Amino acid sequence: MVEETGTKHEALKDVTAGAPEGFAQSLAPASQAVTATRPATLPAAIPAPTRRRWIKVALAIVLLGTAAAGGGYYWWKQSQDRLPPGIVSSNGRIEADQIDIDTKFAGRLTELRVNEGDMVHAGQAVARMDTRDLEASLKRAEALLLQTQRAVDEARATREQWQTQVALAQQQMDRTSYLFERGNSTQELLDQRRQQLNGATAAFNAATARVGQAEHEVELLTVNIADNTLIAPRDGRIQYRIAQVGEVLPAGGKVLTMIDISSVYMDIYLPTLNAGQARIGTDARIVLDAYPDRPIPAKVSFVATQSQFTPKTVETQTERERLMFRIRVRIDPALLRAHAEAVRTGLPGVAYVRLDPNAKWPAWLQRTVGS
């Protein structure tokens, strides 16, 4: 301990060397007190300034690593999204044709057989109207059907009868004409035979018309009775239930709205130069945000003939370049039917259009759904 104390005194002398007079004397008692109270050995400790420097260095390393990772991802994303010449892209949302299922006659909705989101097929009964208030009309219709059927049978029998009379009148007319030409018949008899023939022909035509009218009435009543059941016109998905069971609807009242899964598309907007190069049938790809690694093959099915606003009479080149035209990119119906359960509307994404048929799709757009 004596040696350690002596060493510290020497260090203190070195520190106070050159200091003003009295500075060493002011430090000597304090140094001697510290020397007397401290133990012979002290644990190793990192000074506070050094510790702060290490924290700053570590934080800088973390920040640099994060920036490098972000820059690498940005570079990779840009390289993935980079399109070759002849291919353009634009944002849009998946849409589909909507079909309203309405009532043909006024009445009360008594049954709904589907819910929102259900898949339906063409010809499937999805709702039924209440027939309690139509029972009297139905009985009257059945009586009318029976009566009409009898009228049809009578008209057919009458038609056959008048057809026979027409044939007989025609034969009599021919014989009378033959005899009249040879002077063996009078003009009066010839006129009578002609009137008989005309009357029989008119009666036959009237009976034929009654048969056609009766058959039309039977067909019309049959169709009207069947139309009390609402049928899905196409394969699709129920989008909305507009009416509920028990509601009284007018003729033409909406009950359900469905989407046609065979007509799914995305509308995008392209500037003048690109829109002018687009053609019906141009190859395209749709990439949805929900499925970025599953490009969907599509075709251009519509190119607007007018821009989204009415241009001025005289335009500058800058104004013409700002004109945007609507382009519709439609998915193949066969592909939609094969993946009917996965069809969703409203999903955002990007449509890529190959304006140059010789341009090659990037690798990330070549492997499409269904290929």
73-82 LR contacts (CB < 8 Å, sep 24+): 80/362, 80/364, 82/362
Residues 334 and 309 in one domain: yes
- Which among 227, 248, 282 is the end of a domain? 227
Strands 291-303 and 324-331: antiparallel
The residues near 165 (Cβ < 8 Å, ≥ 6 apart) are 200, 203, 204
Choose from 10-24, 142-156, 334-348 the range with maximum mean pLDDT: 334-348
Residue 242 in domain: no
Q: For the residues of 237-255, what is the DSSP string, one character each?
A: EEEEE-S-TT-EE-TT-EE
Tokens found for residue 93: 């949302």
Q: How far apart are CA 63 and CA 123, in angstroms?
A: 63
- Which among 20, 55, 82 is the end of a domain? 82
| pTM passes above 0.85 | no
pLDDT of residue 232: 96
Residue 341 in domain: yes
Residues 272 and 349 in one domain: yes
- The parent domain of residue 70 ranges over 45-82
Q: Which of 91-95, 154-158, 352-356 has the lowest mean pLDDT?
A: 154-158
Residue-wise pLDDT for 107-118, tens only, equals 899 999 999 999
Residues 91 and 76 in one domain: no
Residues 64 and 154 in one domain: no
Q: How far apart are CA 89 and CA 284, in angstroms?
A: 9
Residue 116 in domain: no
Residues 271 and 201 in one domain: no
Q: For the chain, count helices (H), then strands (E).
A: 9, 12
Residues 33 and 53 in one domain: no
Terminal alpha carbon distance of the chain: 87
Q: Which of 190-194, 216-220, 334-338 has the lowest mean pLDDT?
A: 190-194
Residue-wise pLDDT for 244-287, tens only, equals 999 999 999 999 999 999 999 999 999 888 988 999 999 999 99
Q: Residue 303's closest CA among 277, 321, 322?
A: 277
CATH code of the domain in which 268 resides: 2.40.30.170
3-state secondary structure of 92: strand
Number of domains into which the chain is organized = 4
Residue-wise pLDDT for 289-337, tens only, equals 999 989 999 999 999 988 875 445 445 555 555 788 999 999 999 899 8
Q: What is the number of alpha carbons within 13 Å of residue 56 lying toward its C-beta?
A: 6
pLDDT of residue 103: 94
pLDDT of residue 121: 94
| Degrees, nearest 5: CA angle 82-85-88 | 70
Residue 344 in domain: yes
Q: Determine the average pLDDT of the residues in 11-37.
A: 43
Residues 352 and 275 in one domain: yes
Residues 273 and 199 in one domain: no
Residue 101 in domain: no
Residue owning tokens 């039917």: 337
Q: For the residues of 278-297, what is the DSSP string, one character each?
A: --TT-EEEEEETTEEEEEEE
In this prediction, residue 172 has a pLDDT band, given cuts at 50, 70 and 90, of confident
Residue 157 in domain: yes
Q: Which of 170-179, 226-235, 281-290 has the lowest mean pLDDT?
A: 170-179
Residues 208 and 172 in one domain: yes
